[in-house]
Amino acid sequence: MNKNRTTGLAVVAALSVALLSGCEAPSLDKLLTSGDQQTQPANGASAEGSENTTPSSQQEEPGKPKPPSLQETLTMVEGVPTVTNPTELSVVVNKQRALPADYIPPDLVEPNVPFPFDEKVEKRFMRAEAAKALEELFAGAKQDGIELYAVSGYRSYKTQRSLYETYVKTQGAEHAAAYSAVPGKSEHQTGLAMDVSGVDATTRLEEPFGETPEGQWLSAHCGEYGFIIRYLKGKEETTGYSYEPWHLRYVGKEMAQEIMAKGITLEDYLSENGSAQKQ
């Protein structure tokens, strides 16, 4: 087991113990003092980029089974529709589909990419495969003259609850419902999502980011690295959320390229391609 995976598991284990005991989770500063949490740069790349930026994520296997349908991956838990496949890349979490209440991703690591802050906090983390793909995406953008920053990745149930309550108090329930998820129903808790920005802080986590060179590059190229723009313009009824050109979600290259080429949502893709529809 490599150092990144070991340290990532240690973070998760410590958080899990704290949650189960009812105690306050230890700070990430303390958890990270025992080692470097960053993944190794993809293809020898540094956080600033690399000459070799060909995505190296796992190639899709010929004849690979179709992902399960939306109906196949949902069950009721204490009256809450809850996903049964939280660790799968195709997991769909939205306003109608919650994660298990105690879910913590099993392999959180810190991608070796630039962040606009120095604090060692949980939002730096992603699942290992997604983190490596993000490094490759940033390196590819750098080669094309695009500078990106990772803003917010993994978000625990507790953090999402605090964030949502803050949105409600400061901007009202309607705004909170459009732009934020209730605890347990945030993609950030899967460890597969990362909010991204460019150098212009005025468009950070704002719709105009989609019109910037950085936003346009992401829309054109994110699928090559296994990511999708999760919340598309004009798809609010399907996703339940307003347009977010900064919100990247990792699903793997084959699925991402088809979703982005068709301009559809993850929900649309699984409705068309899920295994239940192919039987």
Q: Distance between CA atoms of 185 and 96, rounded to whole angstroms?
A: 8
Torsion of CA 169, 105, 271, 228, to 10 degrees: 80
Ordered by start, the domain boundaries in the chain are: 66-278
Q: Is the pLDDT confidence value at 148 over 90?
A: yes
For position 186, what pLDDT does the model report?
A: 95
Q: Is the pLDDT confidence value at 170 over 70?
A: yes
Which of 128-137, 171-180, 231-240, 250-259 has the weakest average pLDDT?
Answer: 171-180
pLDDT, one tens digit per residue, over 203-222 is 999 999 999 999 999 999 99
Kindly give, in sequence order, each residue whose CB lies less than 8 Å from that of residue 148, ignoring residues fewer than 6 positions away: 113, 114, 137, 138, 141, 142, 196, 197, 198, 214, 218
Beta partners for 150?
196
Residue with tokens 């993944």: 39
Q: Is the pLDDT confidence value at 62 over 50?
A: yes
Query: Could you confirm whether 78 is annotated as catalytic?
Result: no
pLDDT band at residue 52 under the 50/70/90 scheme: very low
Catalytic residue among 122, 135, 224, 244: 244
Top pLDDT among 87 and 24 is at 87
pLDDT, one tens digit per residue, over 186-204 is 999 999 999 999 999 999 9
For position 88, what pLDDT does the model report?
A: 97
66-278, what's its fold? Answer: Muramoyl-pentapeptide Carboxypeptidase; domain 2 (3.30.1380)
Short-list 229, 220, 227, CA closest to 251: 227
CB–CB of 146/213 below 8 Å? yes
Q: Distance between CA atoms of 152 and 195, rounded to whole angstroms?
A: 5
pLDDT band at residue 51 under the 50/70/90 scheme: very low
CB–CB of 215/146 below 8 Å? no
Q: Is the pLDDT confidence value at 19 over 50?
A: no
What is residue 118's DSSP assignment? -
Q: Is the pLDDT confidence value at 231 over 90?
A: yes
Question: In whole numbers, what is the pLDDT of the chain averaged over residues?
Answer: 83
pTM (2 decimals)?
Answer: 0.76
pLDDT band at residue 60 under the 50/70/90 scheme: very low
